[in-house]
Structure 1
Amino acid sequence: MPKTGHYVKEGDTPIKFRSIRSRLIQFMLLATTIPLLLSISITYIHTKETIKEQALEENRHLIFQGKTNVSNYLDNINKASLVVYNDANFLRNLRKIPDDYRAVAEVFTLLQNIQNTVGGIERIYLHASQSNQSTLVTPATFPKREFRPVPYVSTVPYEKFTTAIEPTHNSHDYGFPPSPTSYTKRKVFTFHRTITNIPSEKVLGVLAIDVRLDSVAAICEQLFNKKNEQLVVVDRDGNVIYSGRDEQIGQKLQDQAVLDHIRQNDSGYFEMNGAMHVYEKLQTPYTDWTIVKRIPNATLYERATQLTKINTAIAVIALLVIIFGTLFISVRITEPIKRLTSYMNRIQSGQLNVDIDWNSRDETGIMFSRFRQMMDTINNLILREYKLELANKTNQLKALQAQINPHFLYNTLQSIGTLALHHNVPRIYALLSSLAKIMRYSMNKGDALVTLREEAEHARLYLDLQKERFGDQLEFSIRLEPDTLGVPMPKMILQPLVENFFKHGMDNLKDGRGRVDIMSRMNPDGVLTIVIENNGESIPPDLLKRLASELERQQSGAQAEWSDEYGIGLHNVTMRLQLYNEHGSELHIENIEPQGVRITAQIHTKATQTKENEES
């Protein structure tokens, strides 16, 4: 059958995808989109790497400078604590009896000098081992002194070190009665020094200097932006000395992966959890701290992202201009071709006196002019008799075409479905596709036997169409055992049985919602059992009894008398089962409680396989 108009055979690509306009648009889009996307991608990657290198270099210098400033501050505290060795009287005063008030005053004075030497010192605690005297000096109160046989418990772990720093903790008064100016919730770190009788190693006392975090915080806050970056200072054990988050100060750093990284080298960077981490170790004889700065990728690559957005916006604008320009040019090129095709279709249908109208001074105008002259010549050469004969033949052809070929209808449904898909109506496409598949399945007379999978798919398509009709008033399920899917069976068994529900059972639903369930199983004796259940109106007992009697008569080979509409479908199904299965396949029908009908079909698979082999 020749193609006419927009007729598309099954499997052909729709004409709009093969048109000059479509190809021109596709070419222009590819020719512009691919280079633009490559340019944007390369620019983004290059900019990202450049910004990353610059940011890393800047932050490494910044962290190094911060490390230097913190180190200098700690060195000042260390130097201030060394005054105990520079004052020759101080070591002698530690060994004197507590009642020597002059010695006590000199000790007080030296401790106050240490306190005034370096800013940020909260309090100083001194314990003399020989005189068993503990002394506490604070800026806001008078010095305190009392007898203690051992130093305060927090200083004991550091007696074995010459110098050491205790991690950040809450401030306390070293066991002395608190004063009104005590700030027990203030965070401090403590510089510990063990005082020995040089050159011997005999311990004369311990010195503990509490230092507020103000100075360290002031240094660290210059190294990061609190809004979108993080910075922590941790010791070798993972204790947080300082953090931009107050709740972390004095706690263990929970991110073990970060600790594992910073223990490997003295400085460097690494990427983890969507952020860049830059770190620098601060190592002195009395501490081993590490400054770690976390920069989220969103912050690190912010400029690259902004540049990419700008490039993308420019690319989209350029693409839109190209699309509209291409559409305009393609319309100017293809519109004359479409118009000429329309004239040709009308001429092909027998309308030889077509009024060809196209006024243009370009090549298309010349083409239409020559085509018009050609048609005038043809009309003048054709005699009246030939025109009458042609008209007669045309009428005969139209009469033949009026007998619509089912395959043409199937192809037409496919074309309409494709058009619905192009107009973003996928549901219409799905319904038309289901209807086309049902028609094709029904029209295919060559396959008398099909598999249960094919038969169930045909029933599912039918139920899908009914679902579109009834909406939420209908539910269905198809549960087939895997070993039954490939079993051969006669065609058109399930759909007529399901259709009975919509003919007789949907009128008086108990709760207004209909349900159909299809199930299958394979019995050990090789019998395929298919069960179809619905919750529709039950069959009246007298009618059910008559239907069961007619089924039994027909399945036993006797002549059955089917008179009502309900029984016609059962009659047709039973006839198919008998035609393709002579081993006594059966069909049973019964009511189920509280409402509904169950139809059970039992098919001997050996019989259907034998029949299939004979036909092949």
Structure 2
Amino acid sequence: MKFYSIRSRLIWFLLIAVTLPLLLSMTMTFVLTKHSLREQATQENERLIFQGITNLDNYLQGLNRASIGVYNDPHFLRNLAKIPDDYRAVAEIYTTLQTMMNATSGIDQVYLHSFEAGQSTLITSTVPLREFRLEPFTGFIHYGPSGLFIQPTHMKHLYGFSAVSYAEHSTEQQVFTLHRAIRNIPASETLGVLAIDVDLEPLRSICRQLYDADTEELFLIDRNGTIIYSGKEASIGTHWKESDLLNRISKEGEHGVIEDDTALHVYGKLDANLSGWTLVKKIPHRTLYLRATRLTQINAVITGAALLLAIVATLWISIKITAPIKRLTRYINQIQSGQLDVDIRAMSNDEIGVLSRRFRQMMDTINNLILREYKLELANKTHQLKALQAQINPHFLYNTLQSIGTLALQHEVPRIYSLLSSLAKMLRYNMRDHTVVTLKEEAEHVKQYLDLQKERFGEQLEVTYQWEDEVLNDRVPKMILQPLVENYFKHGADPRLGPGEIRITGSRIREGIVKITVENNGTNIPQAELEQLQHMLKRPLKAYEEPDTSEQDSIGLRNVLLRIQLHSEDGSNTLCVDNILPHGVRYTLEIRTEAHTEIHIKGE
């Protein structure tokens, strides 16, 4: 049930709305950064590898040119046959080999073997060595058409010379060797072999500029997979373990990029006619995407802080929005349990606050209606009790009055008969169920009432009637004149003011509107009471509305006003009361009669 609450759904919605874009943004940033870094690294390293290949090719070309220096000396090939008998020839060969050794940096020693003379010569940085041999120390090497072969990196050796005679020589050094067959050009006869041992320092100097030794790896490999040079000294001269990658490189172009699950490999191939080596740079993914990872970590920290802030803000907003709803729900639960007078407080001015205030007003209205209904029910019980106490059959009373009147005639007392007839007619008029009568019937009822009052007051009461004939047939609400006349006898009659006068007039003031005036010469209504009475008569009344304590004395006027308002569709019928100078009261009725509009009786 909690999941379906507004607070839960609002929290989940806001969290998803904030979290999802942040995570998508971080993911897209990481992916795009990785792609950008890969492209950038690929381009930069392809340029580096190309420059490294160029430098290595240039260096090997220098070694190659140094090795073919033997053909530049026109006496060198002839001197090969003269040694060791001709000391001049020996000196010239020493000079040529020494020049060759100094032609390019990195040459450690030069070995020469002459087949015709059967002599091997080793030129080092210290002293030259000679020795008679039938076969070269290097054995028979397949040099190919070019007469050139580059031996992979190996440990430096003495080419069979005695270590005693070469005490300063150290064999704890790695070199690669360029072998060349010396041929009697243009013939293909091999006169001797030349071997040039080259230190790895020139290769190291070129390669260290191409990679970061702490995070990357660089390999210089020959066609057979032997490592010529590597940043890892222990692997130099060994077979490269990544044979599958080597096979893929051998099938690809002169340069390119190959990526596997762990690293990016950028390679370039050296001149195939000279060395056929391949330069491979291995960039691990952790190095390649280091900046992307760091950026992602920074973004993750920022995103985490943003998410934390978003969660706090989401919870705060959700609680702030839904707290008034929960408070209103608690109020409703209290009301449901029977606490109808619960104090509903609206703490905000938003829609929920407006709803709370409207709900509070509704509960006030309901409480007032319940209280009014209770009062009506109590009044109804009281009226029922009073009706039971005064339960007299009206028809029995009417027949009794007729019997008394007949008895008065028998005793020759016509005045008593006349008064009893008036009282009986009044009683019969009140007993009728009709709520609307003709103005003539209403006027006759008031006349009978005043006849009875004249019997009481005698010469002290004078009544005047002035009715227009055309209005007597108009239909008006029943019992609207007697309460106005009664007010004189209840509140206005005063013998000190002289004989009492009551004047009743009725006329048509405009089409469909009848004006009835009831005037008396009794005492004036006090000004404060008059203003209160006028205020009460100006506001619309309702059938179920209970009069205030201050309005109890004017209940007759209230009933008259209520009757004429119920008789009107739009409530336009009015009742006005004013004082007359020097003394007296005037009641004015303006009624839309039934002759010109339908009657709609409204009430409860």
Cα distance, 1:151–1:357 mapped onto 2, change above 3 Å = same
Match of 2:175 in 1: 188
Match of 1:145 in 2: 130
Instruction: Report how far residue 214 of structure 1 moved.
Output: 0.3
Match of 1:227 in 2: 214
Alpha-carbon contact 2:15-2:314 (below 8 Å) kept: no
Q: Which amino acid aligns with 2:182?
A: I
Unaligned runs of 5+ in 1: 1-13, 387-616
Q: Distance in 2 between matches of 1:260 and 1:199?
A: 38
Alpha-carbon contact 2:227-2:237 (below 8 Å) kept: yes
Matched position secondary structure for 2:141: helix
Q: Distance in 1 between matches of 2:36 and 2:344?
A: 65
Match of 1:594 in 2: none
Partner residue of 1:305 out of 289, 293, 296: 293
Q: Distance in 2 between matches of 1:275 and 1:310?
A: 24
Q: Which amino acid aligns with 2:37?
A: I
Instruction: Report how far residue 114 of structure 1 moved.
Output: 0.8
Partner residue of 2:193 out of 198, 206, 216: 206
**1:253 and 2:240 matched:** yes
**1:168 and 2:156 matched:** no
Match of 1:122 in 2: 108
**1:96 and 2:87 matched:** no
Q: Which amino acid aligns with 1:156?
A: F
Cα distance, 1:284–1:333 mapped onto 2, change above 3 Å = closer
Instruction: Report how far residue 380 of structure 1 moved.
Output: 5.9
Match of 1:325 in 2: 313
Match of 1:27 in 2: 13
Instruction: Report how far residue 375 of structure 1 moved.
Output: 4.1
**1:17 and 2:31 matched:** no
Alpha-carbon contact 1:159-1:206 (below 8 Å) kept: no
Q: Distance in 2 between matches of 1:217 and 1:249?
A: 12
Match of 1:156 in 2: 140
Partner residue of 1:349 out of 300, 323, 337: 337
Q: Distance in 2 between matches of 1:359 and 1:111?
A: 105
Instruction: Report how far residue 249 of structure 1 moved.
Output: 0.3
Residues paired across the two proteins, number: 370
Q: Which amino acid aligns with 2:129?
A: K
Instruction: Report how far residue 99 of structure 1 moved.
Output: 2.4
Match of 1:560 in 2: none
Alpha-carbon contact 2:219-2:229 (below 8 Å) kept: yes
Instruction: Report how far residue 311 of structure 1 moved.
Output: 3.5
Matched position secondary structure for 1:237: coil
Partner residue of 2:28 out of 17, 20, 42: 42
Q: Distance in 1 between matches of 2:212 and 2:277?
A: 21
Q: Distance in 1 between matches of 2:313 and 2:170?
A: 75
Length-normalised TM-score, structure 2: 0.58
Instruction: Report how far residue 261 of structure 1 moved.
Output: 1.6
Q: Distance in 2 between matches of 1:164 and 1:148?
A: 22
1:346-400 deviations in whole A, cap 9, x for unaligned? Answer: 33334445444454444444433443444455556668x99xxxxxxxxxxxxxx
Matches within 5 A, 1:255-270: 255-264=242-251, 265-270=253-258
Q: Which amino acid aligns with 1:195?
A: I
1:486-545 deviations in whole A, cap 9, x for unaligned? Answer: xxxxxxxxxxxxxxxxxxxxxxxxxxxxxxxxxxxxxxxxxxxxxxxxxxxxxxxxxxxx
1:424-463 deviations in whole A, cap 9, x for unaligned? Answer: xxxxxxxxxxxxxxxxxxxxxxxxxxxxxxxxxxxxxxxx
Cα distance, 1:159–1:130 mapped onto 2, change above 3 Å = farther
Structure label with greater radius of gyration: 2
Alpha-carbon contact 1:155-1:192 (below 8 Å) kept: no
Cα distance, 1:69–1:362 mapped onto 2, change above 3 Å = closer
Matched position secondary structure for 1:149: coil
**1:236 and 2:220 matched:** no
Alpha-carbon contact 2:83-2:90 (below 8 Å) kept: no
Match of 1:81 in 2: 67
1:535-593 deviations in whole A, cap 9, x for unaligned? Answer: xxxxxxxxxxxxxxxxxxxxxxxxxxxxxxxxxxxxxxxxxxxxxxxxxxxxxxxxxxx
Matched position secondary structure for 2:26: helix
1:468-492 deviations in whole A, cap 9, x for unaligned? Answer: xxxxxxxxxxxxxxxxxxxxxxxxx
**1:290 and 2:278 matched:** yes
Cα distance, 1:100–1:155 mapped onto 2, change above 3 Å = same
Match of 1:273 in 2: 261
Cα distance, 1:315–1:346 mapped onto 2, change above 3 Å = same
Instruction: Report how far residue 304 of structure 1 moved.
Output: 2.6
Match of 1:508 in 2: none
Q: Which amino acid aligns with 2:209?
A: Q
Q: Distance in 2 between matches of 1:376 and 1:63?
A: 89
Matches within 5 A, 1:402-481: none
Alpha-carbon contact 2:109-2:122 (below 8 Å) kept: yes
Q: Which amino acid aligns with 2:69?
A: V
Match of 1:61 in 2: 47
Cα distance, 1:75–1:380 mapped onto 2, change above 3 Å = same
Instruction: Report how far residue 135 of structure 1 moved.
Output: 0.7
Length-normalised TM-score, structure 1: 0.57
Unaligned runs of 5+ in 2: 375-604
Q: Which amino acid aligns with 1:199?
A: P
Instruction: Report how far residue 112 of structure 1 moved.
Output: 1.0
Q: Distance in 1 between matches of 2:352 and 2:211?
A: 70
Instruction: Report how far residue 198 of structure 1 moved.
Output: 1.2
Matched position secondary structure for 1:135: strand
Q: Distance in 1 between matches of 2:143 and 2:349?
A: 106
Alpha-carbon contact 1:190-1:209 (below 8 Å) kept: yes
Instruction: Report how far residue 74 of structure 1 moved.
Output: 0.8
Cα distance, 1:139–1:27 mapped onto 2, change above 3 Å = same
Instruction: Report how far residue 258 of structure 1 moved.
Output: 1.5
Q: Distance in 2 between matches of 1:332 and 1:76?
A: 82
Instruction: Report how far residue 204 of structure 1 moved.
Output: 0.7
Partner residue of 2:184 out of 180, 197, 201: 197
Matched position secondary structure for 1:102: helix
Q: Which amino acid aligns with 1:239?
A: T
Matched position secondary structure for 2:140: helix
**1:136 and 2:130 matched:** no
1:268-315 deviations in whole A, cap 9, x for unaligned? Answer: 111013111010000243311000001112222223333333334333
Q: Which amino acid aligns with 2:176?
A: F
Alpha-carbon contact 1:155-1:208 (below 8 Å) kept: no
Q: Which amino acid aligns with 1:349?
A: S
Cα distance, 1:370–1:136 mapped onto 2, change above 3 Å = same
Cα distance, 1:203–1:35 mapped onto 2, change above 3 Å = same
Instruction: Report how far residue 335 of structure 1 moved.
Output: 0.7
Instruction: Report how far residue 35 of structure 1 moved.
Output: 2.7
Q: Which amino acid aligns with 1:168?
A: T
Matched position secondary structure for 2:180: strand
Q: Which amino acid aligns with 1:229?
A: E
Q: Which amino acid aligns with 1:157?
A: I
Alpha-carbon contact 2:182-2:190 (below 8 Å) kept: yes
Q: Which amino acid aligns with 1:110?
A: T
Match of 1:577 in 2: none
